[in-house]
Structure 1
Amino acid sequence: MTGASRQLGSAVAQELGPAAPEGTVARSVLDPRTAVAVLLGASITIMAPGGLWFVPAALTAGVLLALSERAWRRAVALPLAAAAAAAVAFVLPLAAPWPVLGLIGVMGEFTLRIAAVGSIAAHLVQTVSPTRFAAALRSARVPSAFTVSGAVMLRFVPTIITEAQAVRDAMRLRGLGGWGAMLRHPLRAIEYFTVPLMASSLRAAEDLSASALLRGLGSQPNPTAMHPPRFGPADAVAVVVVAVLVATTLLWRSAR
């Protein structure tokens, strides 16, 4: 009986994730409310007409956030990806006045905007756990519909990515992976990839639903956080840096 209890406890602990006491959170990590506010501001500004002016500021903020969490690969990959998208968007259409190149340029411009917003979203996903995210949104008086859905998405998306990688590895073991196999049997490759991925997604959704119920998401009254979110020095630094980047962008735009 004791062995079964231990196995059940370890399974639940793996599903819920390790407990993250307040002392283990680095001081350089932003409060989830600050990260969400920066992400929403960048998304609204960049996706609006004339938002290309703010793309360098958002990329700079994304690189600084990646450096703050010591994500060296992302800090290097972001400028390279942005430079490639900018070349496709602005340099490629100048090669020849072809409508196809113009269409590709429009797609490159849209990709550049997504990369700028994604640079900030990646920091939010990597540093904010679903528990801290839900607690921060509850403290900000955000409706539970957005709180629960956002917390589940933070846990569901990485799970689906992991399951997709496992399905792809299984396909390669059976000789169905790679571009050559997909070109020879495209329908079979799609079928063998989507069916297991959908089945694993349904199992992951059920497990995450059980985990959410155990954590008290969506309950009335709202659950009390053991470690309430608090603003720290990192949030003040982030506000100052964002203000400087926005002011620099506005001055640059007015000078042009």
Structure 2
Amino acid sequence: MGKQDAGFAAPVRLCVFAATLLGVFLTGGTERTWIIAAMLFLILMAQKAWKQCAGFAVFYGILSLLLYLIRFHGLRMAVFSEFHVFLFWWMTPVFMAAWNLVSTPPGELSAFFARVHAPTGAILGMLVIFRFFPTMRAELRGLRESMHNRGLTGPAQVLRHPGNTFEYILVPMLLRCLQISDQLAVSAAARGIDTPGPRHSYYERKLRARDILAAALYAGGILAFLLTGGIK
């Protein structure tokens, strides 16, 4: 089974994200949200997203260690407050579920929402929001490589000319945002976004047994989590 086939369908990822929000924000015991994080690690592993799973594990492990040292050994943070450490630790399950949803292929998301007759404006807005961060990350990577080739990323250069460094980053990013917005408009028009008739998609992915099982188990797990830990 390929990497793409290992991923869950869009409805399952939406279910996981919605259930995670309910579990994190409705629970009466915030210190028990590690259970939700553990469930999400299982979701990522089931999709063979090993790189993302490892990254979140390191991030969550560091936060857990800091939180332990703060609570039981009186550690005091120099830059971030103790509240920020707890906030990021508490919100990590939401970050994981959001990444799982954002990483869904845009065509699959739009196809699913088209099948449930969602408004066209809502579909476009959702796709733009979901693809914003991956697109900006790719653009920043290209900009960093371009500045590095021109010798503009050295520590001495940044310290001597911080204003120029900020300008070198801001101006290209603003221009790229304008170009991307034009490209999105042209792409939407070319794909018949204004067509009044019914639209079809290449993505005709149906729910498999593993998709239904994963959604049921995760939703059931969140329900049991809330019932045993109390609801605000």
Bin for the TM-score computed over the shorter chain: 0.7 to 0.9
Task: Give the letter aligned to residue 87 of structure 1.
Answer: L
8 Å CA contact 1:85, 1:112 repeated in 2: yes
Report the TM-score, using the length of structure 1 for normalisation.
0.74
Q: Note the 1:228-247 alignment, pairs <5 A.
A: 228-246=204-222
Please, which of 176, 181, 188 is the counterpart of residue 212 of structure 1?
Answer: 188
User: Is 1:37–2:27 an aligned residue pair?
Assistant: no
Q: Distance in 2 between matches of 1:46 and 1:174?
A: 46
User: Is 1:120–2:97 an aligned residue pair?
Assistant: yes
8 Å CA contact 1:156, 1:205 repeated in 2: no
Task: Give the letter aligned to residue 159 of structure 1.
Answer: T
8 Å CA contact 1:148, 1:217 repeated in 2: no
Q: Where do 5+ consecutive residues of structure 2 fail to align?
A: none
User: Is 1:139–2:139 an aligned residue pair?
Assistant: no
Stretch of structure 1 that moved more, 51-60 or 193-202: 51-60
Q: Which residue of 2 aligns with 1:184?
A: 160
For residues 178-217 of structure 1, what are the alpha-carbon distances to aligned partners after superposition, in whole Å with 9 as ceiling and x for unaligned?
5554343322211111111111121122112211222233
Count of aligned pairs: 229
Q: Distance in 1 between matches of 2:83 and 2:153?
A: 31
Q: Which residue of 1 aligns with 2:36?
A: 58
Please, which of 83, 88, 92 is the counterpart of residue 111 of structure 1?
Answer: 88
Cα distance change, pair 220–109 in 1 and its aligned pair in 2 (3 A) = farther
For residues 54-103 of structure 1, what are the alpha-carbon distances to aligned partners after superposition, in whole Å with 9 as ceiling and x for unaligned?
632332233223223322222222222112123334532554496x6796
Q: Distance in 2 between matches of 1:250 and 1:48?
A: 7
Task: Give the letter aligned to residue 40 of structure 2.
Answer: G
Of structures 1 and 2, the one scoring higher in RCO (CA 8 A, sep 6+) is 2
User: Is 1:151–2:127 an aligned residue pair?
Assistant: yes
8 Å CA contact 2:16, 2:219 repeated in 1: no
Stretch of structure 1 that moved more, 152-161 or 168-177: 152-161
User: Is 1:69–2:47 an aligned residue pair?
Assistant: yes
8 Å CA contact 2:70, 2:82 repeated in 1: yes
Q: Which residue of 2 aligns with 1:79?
A: 57
Q: Which residue of 2 aligns with 1:10?
A: none
Q: Distance in 1 between matches of 2:4 and 2:43?
A: 13
Aligned residues: percent identity?
A: 19
Q: Where do 5+ consecutive residues of structure 1 fail to align?
A: 1-23
User: Is 1:28–2:6 an aligned residue pair?
Assistant: yes
Q: Distance in 2 between matches of 1:93 and 1:181?
A: 41
For residues 97-127 of structure 1, what are the alpha-carbon distances to aligned partners after superposition, in whole Å with 9 as ceiling and x for unaligned?
96x679612111221233211212222233x
Q: Please report the RMSD computed on the Cα atoms of aligned residues, expressed in angstroms.
A: 3.1
Q: Distance in 2 between matches of 1:231 and 1:54?
A: 31
8 Å CA contact 1:62, 1:116 repeated in 2: yes
